[in-house]
Amino acid sequence: MTGAPAPPLIELREVSKRFVRRLDVAAKVAQALGAQAPAQAAQAVDGVSLAIAPGEVVGLVGESGCGKSTLGRLAAGLLAPDAGRRYWRGAAVDALASAEQRRVRLAIQMIFQDSYASLNPRLRVQDIVGEAPVVHGLIEPGGQRDYVARTLERVGLDPSLMRRFPHQFSGGQRARIGIARALAVRPEFLVCDEAVAALDVSIQAQVLNLFIRLRAELGLTYLFISHDLGVVQHLSDRVLIMYLGRIVEAAPTAALYASPNHPYTQGLLAEVPRLEIRRTHFAAIRGELPSPFAPPPGCHFHPRCPHAMPRCEIERPLLREIAPGRFSACHLNDPPPDATPAARPGAGLA
Amino acid sequence: MTQPTLKVEHLRTHFFARQGVVKAVDGVSFEVRSGQTLGIVGESGAGKSITGFSIMGLVDPPGRIIDGRILLHGRDLRTRSPAEWQAIRGNRIAMIFQDPMMTLNPVLRIDTQMIEAVRAHDRVSVRSARDRARAALARVGLPSPDERLRAYPHQFSGGMRQRVAIAIALLHQPDLIIADEPTTALDVTIQGQILAEMQQLCRESGTALIWITHDLAVIAGLANEVCVMYAGRIVERGTVDQVFDAPLHPYTRGLLDSVPSRNQRGAPLRQIPGMAPSIARLPVGCAFRERCARATETCFTEPPLYELEGRHVRCFHPIHAEDEAAAAT
Amino acid sequence: MARFSAASPAGRVAADFAQSRLAVFGLALLAALLLAALFAPVLSPQNPYDLAQLDILDSRLPPGAHATDGKLTYWLGTDDQGRDMLSAILYGLRISLSVGVSATLCALALGLTLGLVAAFCGGWIESLIMRIADIQLSFPAILIALILLAVLGQGIEKIIIALVAVQWAYYARTVRSTALVERSKEYIEAATCLALPAARIVFRHLAPNCLPPLIVVATVQVAAAITLEATLSFLGLGLPITEPSLGLLISNGFTYLLSGKYWISFFPGVALLLMIVSINLVGDQLRDVLNPRLQR
């Protein structure tokens, strides 16, 4: 988003994605007969733009229903956006020739959350990791064994285990197999969708260290999607906060955690239990997460916001740069209509 | 000193499987007092959930409690008849599970289920049971309880379902609540709400709470005392301040060190090498021996749980304050 | 947790299967019947299809009787044409099993393809295939088979066609629902991410994971196919009289049941019973073993 000399590695411009809960036959008949039963639509991603520079680690944080997984899949190309476009090294991906598109597809890989469901239970690890490189001609079929062995070593797995099946491994090992599968096609950009969420604390530390090491060794770029603020803080250069399909705040990590601007970010950071805080009185953000099928009008967060104004119910706040490199979508950041410059709200509430 | 609400002594729950005996819980002892919260932390396979199930009497074959005493207000639960157990479960002890659908029947309305839960232990009229159900839902912070009562579980979000499960647990003002990872699958904001509600409710009614989780930070905020479990045994036990600020056991230390917030940003996290052993095949001696930097020949014998510096630890080489100062990390 | 020493999915299935003694017994019985059917020409004292070998004077002899020319012992008696029951049963098993198994395999292939197509394509193709399957399943199987045979005539191929037509819908429905579940799993997404060709994803990744429920359905359906074929033969619409299947043998002996010559119906009935029971025992255990909810 800043004016970098080289084009960003991957860029999404104003992408949106809707999921429609289609009517079944009975509802269609009812509708034809005049009943009010419109098809429900959820705006999973609503006009989001993001750009990631080569070598950067961008963290994407949000709760269920915020659309972060959908955004990750849009970035990876697994879903096609209803609006907006995807750019790879400055070129629009959908305008490329099909061979080029395939190259871009291989350059962007995804690491999934559920390490059990993301591995084909009927294939041996050697096939899981080695299938795609052979199919795409990256290696000779005869060299598959050696290539898989080297890839497994790189992710910290014993190569002699490659003839085994996924169910014979622990959760942490399966996570590594998923990473090996992605690395086997020599990607440049990895979308990690809650990749460590299902792991125990000590295994999580090992896998996070693996991500850090691979970034240094292979010059990878990451989009790290997680609900765990602590993990994101540790790994990311920049953090994006999502709420109900929109990005509400984006900032470099240190700045975001030190002085969050958006009330939702402030609430999130205050909510997160921390080791140092003992026998605390948990004070929650009130209210339920709205359903994506019925988002509140105006600013999606206003029903739960302690600083809500009448304007918030009507007008959607736009994501604006409030400081160099920091963006926030909140009406509180606008200077008040009268001339006196008020102190920036939220500054003291970190 | 008054009697603790629950006192567990040398609990052993073993599973007799085809491949051999799995010692899921192997000599666990702790106590909880009224109004206090005990945290049981550990990673998968440590045996914390089985401990909770054992206390509730929910262990099914091939598992069996083979040893130990579970004293509720001084009386051993293991000696009770099934009829007595019926009267205790849900009434004096209640359990909340990670998946609220383990409590809720998907084909019954909420009011049907809650009224059934009330009348299981109290012979009251349906109307009076419904009033109690409504009050319980209001107490856990569910808005418009009358509407909620008429709904089915699938019409609720995960957080709301968990609140209903908690409301059901609270219907009979139990002396003890065992919560097995109830907020693990929930979002941070919903988790915060539920933690706030549980805290308040336990403070108000003096209920003892056992909170089982792998999330150390939640325990830090919620509990008075904590037990750290590893491979079916308690390796450290003490107050939260003691254990989290100055851990004695190397595993506790390693676990705390691997939390991202305790590491320098961007640098590799301090990690415990290797993996937790499968409880079906434990190593000889201390279960943590193969992963421990402080292990010596003595560790080939099983260490006992003993008292040290006002708490309990199961280690031949606990981390003393002097070690801390000497090894400047 | 340490579980099975066998690594491959097939090995695990076999180890789990062996847990039930009843199922192993069923499998042993089925194997014995299969072998008997396979080696029927070797095992049977007489070729029941060779009309020259039959002696009408030997008809309706009780079990254990000797032939009039003294060469054979009719261990299970003879039927009204002088055919040795034991030989007839062995050959009949052969026919029943071959018809049942080949019909099931063809129905499985057809149902698998149509089910995968329905799951993968979605839209009107899926609706069309599924509605045809639903309509077909709402008719009694025997009715459809009778109508088809009336149109097609008699003969072993026509019976197989009728059986396939009756059974493909079960497989298609099972495959479609399994495929829909599997398709949303992340390993299929991962294969898409790796830019693998669609055909490869469907046949190398999707199809093998849809097989377990199919295997269970197939095992039970073999029994159903055999029963249906026996019913059709019993009604006289099945295989020709010169190559009697078990159903026809039962039918032939039906009129003699109450006059004391029970063996003409009884022994083919017992053979049919044993075959169905063994297939069902195996199928039951397979269903429990392959149930994904009981795994892990």
Please report whether residue A167 resides in a domain.
yes
Beta strand B225-230 pairing with B37-41: parallel
Query: Which residues 1-60 of C have a C-beta within 8 angstroms of B?
Result: 1-3
B256 touches A: beta carbon within 8 Å? yes
Question: Alpha carbon B236 to chain centroid distance?
Answer: 15
Give every CB contact of residue C58 below 8 A, 6+ residues apart in sequence: C67, C68, C74, C78, C82
φ, ψ for residue A204 (rounded to 5)? Answer: -60, -45
**Mean pLDDT, chain A, whole residue set:** 86
B19: closest chain C residue by CA? C3
pLDDT of B229 over the 70 cut: yes
Q: Which of A13-22, A125-134, B176-185 has the highest mean pLDDT?
A: A125-134
Q: Please report residues of B whose CB lies closer than 8 A to that of C3.
A: 19
Longest pairwise C-alpha distance within chain C = 77
What's the confidence (pLDDT) of residue A328?
92
Interval C50-70 mean pLDDT: 75
Please state, in angstroms and rounded to a whole number, the distance separating the CA atoms of residues C112 and B213.
45
Give every CB contact of residue A322 below 8 A, 6+ residues apart in sequence: A261, A328, A333, A344
pLDDT of A349 over the 60 cut: no
Give the domain CATH number at C37: 1.10.3720.10
Give every CB contact of residue A16 below 8 A, 6+ residues apart in sequence: A43, A45, A46, A47, A48, A81, A82, A83, A84
Please report whether residue A2 resides in a domain.
no
Distance from CA of C295 to the nearest CA of B (A): 15
Please state, in angstroms and rounded to a whole number, the distance separating the CA atoms of residues B316 and B296.
9
- Alpha helices, DSSP H, located in chain B: 48-56, 82-88, 110-121, 126-139, 145-149, 158-170, 188-205, 216-222, 240-245, 250-257, 321-326
Four-residue CA torsion sign, B85, B90, B93, B98: positive
Distance from CA of A318 to the nearest CA of B (A): 24
* Rg of chain C taking only CA atoms, in angstroms: 23
Distance from CA of A146 to the nearest CA of B (A): 25
Instruction: Report the candidate in C219, C228, C107 with the shortest Cα–Cα distance to residue C172.
Output: C107
- The DSSP secondary structure of A254-287, one letter per residue, reads HHHHHS--SHHHHHHHHHS--TT--S----PPPS
Greater confidence, A127 or C285?
Answer: A127
Specify whether the CB–CB gap between A226 and A272 falls below 8 A. Answer: no
DSSP state of B291: G
Interval A253-281 mean pLDDT: 85
Token readout for A332 is 């509180």
What's the confidence (pLDDT) of residue A183?
94
Token readout for B164 is 């209903």
Token readout for A138 is 């990256």
Four-residue CA torsion sign, A246, A250, A253, A258: negative
Cα dihedral angle (A23, A27, A28, A31), rounded to 10 degrees?
A: -120
Of the listed ranges A341-345, B211-215, B274-278, the one predicted with least confidence: A341-345
Please state, in angstroms and rounded to a whole number, the distance separating the CA atoms of residues A177 and A34.
54
Taking an 8 Å cut-off on Cβ atoms, the answer to whether A283 and B196 are in contact is yes
What's the confidence (pLDDT) of residue A180?
95
pLDDT of A285 over the 80 cut: no
Domain of A55, in residue numbers = 10-20+41-261
Interval A157-185 mean pLDDT: 91
Question: Alpha carbon A319 to chain centroid distance?
Answer: 18
How confident is residue A128, by pLDDT bands cut at 50, 70 and 90? very high
pLDDT of B37 over the 60 cut: yes
Interval C62-68 mean pLDDT: 77
Of the listed ranges A228-232, A331-335, B286-290, the one predicted with least confidence: A331-335
Residues B241-269 have pLDDT tens digits of 999 999 999 999 999 988 888 888 888 88
Interval A1-12 mean pLDDT: 74
Residues C105-124 have pLDDT tens digits of 999 999 998 998 888 877 88
What's the confidence (pLDDT) of residue B85?
87
Please state, in angstroms and rounded to a whole number, the distance separating the CA atoms of residues A70 and A292.
13
Helix H or strand E segment including A42: strand A40-52
Tokens 């907006």 belong to A84
C185 touches A: beta carbon within 8 Å? yes
B190 touches A: beta carbon within 8 Å? yes
Helix H or strand E segment including A152: helix A144-154
Those chains having 3 or more beta-carbon pairs within 8 angstroms of chain B are A, C
How confident is residue A146, by pLDDT bands cut at 50, 70 and 90? very high
pLDDT of A251 over the 90 cut: yes
For chain C, what's the residue count?
A: 296
Facing residue for B159 by CB, picked from A171, A202, A288: A288
pLDDT of C2 over the 50 cut: no
Interval C178-195 mean pLDDT: 89
Q: Please report residues of C whose CB lies closer than 8 A to that of A123.
A: 205
Q: Please report residues of B whose CB lies closer than 8 A to that of A229.
A: 188
Helix H or strand E segment including A129: helix A125-135
Give every CB contact of residue B82 below 8 A, 6+ residues apart in sequence: none
Token readout for B36 is 């206090």
Give the domain CATH number at A243: 3.40.50.300
Facing residue for A201 by CB, picked from B196, B259, B267: B259
Q: Please report residues of A whose CB lies closer than 8 A to that of C208.
A: 122
Please state, in angstroms and rounded to a whole number, the distance separating the CA atoms of residues C206 and C202.
5
Residues A176-210 have pLDDT tens digits of 999 999 999 999 999 999 888 878 888 888 999 99
Helix H or strand E segment including C181: helix C156-183
Whole-number Cα distances in Å, A315 to A17, A298, B324: 21, 4, 56
Four-residue CA torsion sign, B298, B302, B307, B309: positive
What's the confidence (pLDDT) of residue A348?
36
Of the listed ranges A63-72, A129-138, A171-180, the one predicted with least confidence: A63-72
ipTM exceeds 0.90, yes or no: no
Greater confidence, A331 or C46?
Answer: A331
Please state, in angstroms and rounded to a whole number, the distance separating the CA atoms of residues B32 and B8.
9
Please report whether residue A106 resides in a domain.
yes
Interval B134-159 mean pLDDT: 84
Residues A68-96 have pLDDT tens digits of 989 999 999 999 999 999 999 988 988 88
Cis status, amide bond into C213, omega within 30 of 0: no
Interval C217-240 mean pLDDT: 84
Instruction: Report the candidate in A270, A294, A274, A295 with the shortest Cα–Cα distance to residue A284.
Output: A270
Please report whether residue A341 resides in a domain.
no
Please report whether residue C19 resides in a domain.
no
Please state, in angstroms and rounded to a whole number, the distance separating the CA atoms of residues A328 and A317.
9
Those chains having 3 or more beta-carbon pairs within 8 angstroms of chain A are B, C
Chosen from A64, A68, A69, A275 to mutate, greatest number of chain B CBs within 10 A: A275
Taking an 8 Å cut-off on Cβ atoms, the answer to whether A120 and C205 are in contact is yes
Task: Give the number of other Cβ atoms within 10 Å of residue B280's Cβ.
Answer: 17
Four-residue CA torsion sign, C237, C241, C246, C250: positive
Token readout for C174 is 């099972």
Domain of C196, in residue numbers = 32-51+58-294
Taking an 8 Å cut-off on Cβ atoms, the answer to whether C190 and A185 are in contact is no
Specify whether the CB–CB gap between B68 and B8 falls below 8 A. Answer: yes
C42 touches A: beta carbon within 8 Å? no
Token readout for A161 is 């285990």
Tokens 């000696």 belong to B79
What's the confidence (pLDDT) of residue B41?
93
Token readout for B53 is 């199930």
Please report whether residue A292 resides in a domain.
no
Q: Which of B186-195, C84-93, C107-116 has the highest mean pLDDT?
A: C107-116
pLDDT of B228 over the 90 cut: yes
Helix H or strand E segment including C225: helix C207-234
Taking an 8 Å cut-off on Cβ atoms, the answer to whether C194 and A181 are in contact is yes
What's the confidence (pLDDT) of residue C93?
87
Task: Give the number of other Cβ atoms within 10 Å of residue A12's Cβ.
Answer: 20
Taking an 8 Å cut-off on Cβ atoms, the answer to whether A168 and C7 are in contact is yes
- The DSSP secondary structure of C206-222, one letter per residue, reads IHHHHHHHHHHHHHHHH
B120 touches A: beta carbon within 8 Å? no
DSSP state of C84: B
φ, ψ for residue B264 (rounded to 5)? Answer: -75, 135
How confident is residue C5, by pLDDT bands cut at 50, 70 and 90? very low
**Domain tally for chain C?**
1
User: What predicted TM-score, i.e. pTM, was given to this entire model?
Assistant: 0.81
Specify whether the CB–CB gap between B40 and B20 falls below 8 A. Answer: no
Please report whether residue C105 resides in a domain.
yes
Taking an 8 Å cut-off on Cβ atoms, the answer to whether C192 and A78 are in contact is yes
Chosen from A112, A122, A194 to mutate, greatest number of chain C CBs within 10 A: A122
Specify whether the CB–CB gap between B36 and B224 falls below 8 A. Answer: yes
Token readout for B324 is 């801390």
Q: Please report residues of C whose CB lies closer than 8 A to that of A132.
A: 194-196
Please state, in angstroms and rounded to a whole number, the distance separating the CA atoms of residues A184 and A139.
10
pLDDT of A350 over the 50 cut: no
- The DSSP secondary structure of A175-195, one letter per residue, reads HHHHHHHHHTT--SEEEEEST
C194 touches A: beta carbon within 8 Å? yes
Token readout for C45 is 């004292």
Please state, in angstroms and rounded to a whole number, the distance separating the CA atoms of residues C224 and C237.
17
Please report whether residue C22 resides in a domain.
no
Facing residue for A165 by CB, picked from C7, C189, C195: C7
Please report whether residue C236 resides in a domain.
yes
Taking an 8 Å cut-off on Cβ atoms, the answer to whether A231 and B260 are in contact is yes
Taking an 8 Å cut-off on Cβ atoms, the answer to whether A122 and C195 are in contact is no
pLDDT of C47 over the 50 cut: yes
Please report whether residue A350 resides in a domain.
no
Whole-number Cα distances in Å, A343 to A220, A306, A330: 40, 18, 15
Please state, in angstroms and rounded to a whole number, the distance separating the CA atoms of residues A150 and A154.
6
Taking an 8 Å cut-off on Cβ atoms, the answer to whether A165 and C192 are in contact is no
